[in-house]
Structure 1
């Protein structure tokens, strides 16, 4: 019997030892975050489905050799990063993020947490989501991915650096530039139109 309240790492070790039921809580905890990571990087729901499924197959394939040297989510999102890189190597990116999905609110909350900027001042939740997704789509891929690894996987700078095979300073710079560009794009959308004197 598997205790579904166990930490991710214990569940993954149990799954690696042959307890198939341990996979279900891992999947339930992380499947949506992995899917959002792919969707926000590609803008294509069907592709996000495929890449997420490929990542879960990779988790299953890697289970026998799994060692909890990092958080399970860090390990899984590192696998996800590799799947995304493999995809971009095979296909030239051309899709933009879907403006009407409403996927941007969680990102807006992550971006502006403790920043002093209140995204609710924009015209509405849909406008915030659309503006954020548009701004996110305009980021260079490396900056977008660093931001999404932190926003979706709750990865530290060190984890992002390890997952993307760059130095910690590079990962930190990518995050800093991504946040600054996203903030700038959303703040520009929040500016009040100036009234022309009659």
Structure 2
């Protein structure tokens, strides 16, 4: 963020005073990472659901903006807490409904443009990583994504997930170990 750019906390305060442009700037600043977070927490091939939940998450951010307390946490910590709660509510609701495996056929994902074998291999790796992320517990997956994608500190992850810092650290460690083990065939060649 450039020095002349207002901080997130200033933008949310401006939004609360009625400046809709400030909210738009916040959204544009965080949209990509928040979408990635929601996408990875859910099944990555269900783009429509991810887009809907991402949008619902930002609507919740707008609705709950007055609950942000700048002295208590950074805006990004509060933002991911709101989004996390939206995702967990969705996952809880989904548990009561049967879901298909939703796995895409990697052969259907290959591009015919350039180096089809390389593209197919890369698509298979992406699908493998996404499948293994989904195999993690929700708590481990969110700790991993908040650390690697959102780039929150362990203390911020603990704050977002309302867990003890050692619990957040343990979840992240278990997630890394599980992914390292499950994806070893890709690493080893």
User: What is the TM-score of this pair, normalised by structure 2?
Assistant: 0.78
SS state at 2:163 partner: coil
Aligned with 2:66 (options 47, 61, 64): 64
Q: What is residue 90 of structure 2 aligned with on the other side?
A: 87
Aligned with 1:75 (options 78, 83, 91): 78
Superposition map of 1:131-170 within 5 A: 131-170=128-167
**CA–CA separation in structure 2 for the residues paired with 1:180 and 1:146:** 13
Question: Is 2:46 the counterpart of 1:49?
Answer: no
Q: Between Structure 1 and Structure 2, how many residues are aligned?
A: 170
Superposition map of 1:4-19 within 5 A: 5-19=5-19
RMSD (Å), alpha carbons: 2.6
**CA–CA separation in structure 1 for the residues paired with 2:158 and 2:49:** 25
**CA–CA separation in structure 1 for the residues paired with 2:159 and 2:105:** 31
**CA–CA separation in structure 1 for the residues paired with 2:154 and 2:6:** 26
**CA–CA separation in structure 2 for the residues paired with 1:186 and 1:37:** 20
Superposition map of 1:97-136 within 5 A: 125-136=122-133
Aligned with 2:180 (options 179, 183, 190): 183
SS state at 2:183 partner: helix
